[in-house]
Amino acid sequence: MKPAIILGSSSPYRKALLERLGIPFTTQSPDIDETPQSHESISDYVLRMSQEKAKTIFNNCKIPNALIITSDQSATLSSTKSNKEATHDQIIGKPHTIENAQKQLESFSSNKVVFYTSVSITCTRTHETKSKVTQYSVHFKKLSSEEISRYISIEKPLDCAGSFKCEGLGVRLFDKMEGEDPTSLEGLPLIAICDLLCHFGADPLTYKTVNSL
């Protein structure tokens, strides 16, 4: 019997992404402390967040054979002066206000922003957890204040880290993108998820009945 799939997220964006795989799943919203630790790198932070989300849901899960999928994402302006990875005090979060969104996008103009997206899958049967962190870079065009203001008024990306929606009009702001998995930029790295599901014997290809041609 195939394991039940639980998406540990209340995000409608992550829910829509996982639905692309065509596998049945339920959702649960983990409640954790998301305070970064001192001197914690962004990749370590997002990895710890996805693992703590999975642990929280696992501790309350009554399903003996389930796979819990959790994810977290943060971003930072890429430094041209240092090869060191940014720490938590340089994390780009959700703007929440129009003013903050305007400031974020103005700082991105002609710059590169690096997104770190983690995914963890925990098996309730074996208690095993597997995780991966994916990087994805966005190079922004030179943007005028008027372009930024108009974009924000159209898409209202106030609940999106980085103040844009790459699945929508946000691509108008980009010069180019670089990375292994474009879905990681949207908040849920589906290539990594497929790999981890296969590790646990839950290949998405086997969740559907195939009709004869």
pLDDT, tens digit, for every residue of 114-167?
999 999 999 999 999 999 999 999 999 999 999 999 999 999 999 888 999 988
Residue 1: CB atoms within 10 Å: 4
Please tell me which residue in 72, 175, 195, 203 is annotated as part of the active site: 72
44 flagged as catalytic: no
Q: Is the dihedral of CA 81, 46, 13, 91 positive or negative?
A: negative
CA 8-137-135 angle, 5° bins = 45
Q: What is the pLDDT of residue 59?
A: 95
pTM (2 d.p.): 0.87
Judge whether residue 211 has pLDDT over 80.
no
Residues facing 140 on adjacent strands: 174
Q: Give me the residue spans of the domains in the chain.
A: 4-206
- CATH class (in words) of the domain with range 4-206: alpha beta
Question: What residue spans of the chain are helical by DSSP H?
Answer: 12-19, 42-60, 98-108, 145-155, 182-186, 190-199
Q: Which of 13-27, 32-46, 174-188 has the lowest mean pLDDT?
A: 32-46
* Cα distance between residue 116 and residue 133, in whole Å: 7
Backbone angles phi, psi at 189, to 5 degrees: -75, 100
Q: What is the pLDDT of residue 12?
A: 92
pLDDT band at 100 (very low <50, low <70, confident <90, very high): very high
User: Could you tell me the two tokens for 50?
Assistant: 């996805």
Q: What is the pLDDT of residues 50-97, one digit of tens each?
A: 999 999 999 999 999 999 999 999 999 885 444 455 444 478 888 999
Q: What is the DSSP letter of 29?
A: -
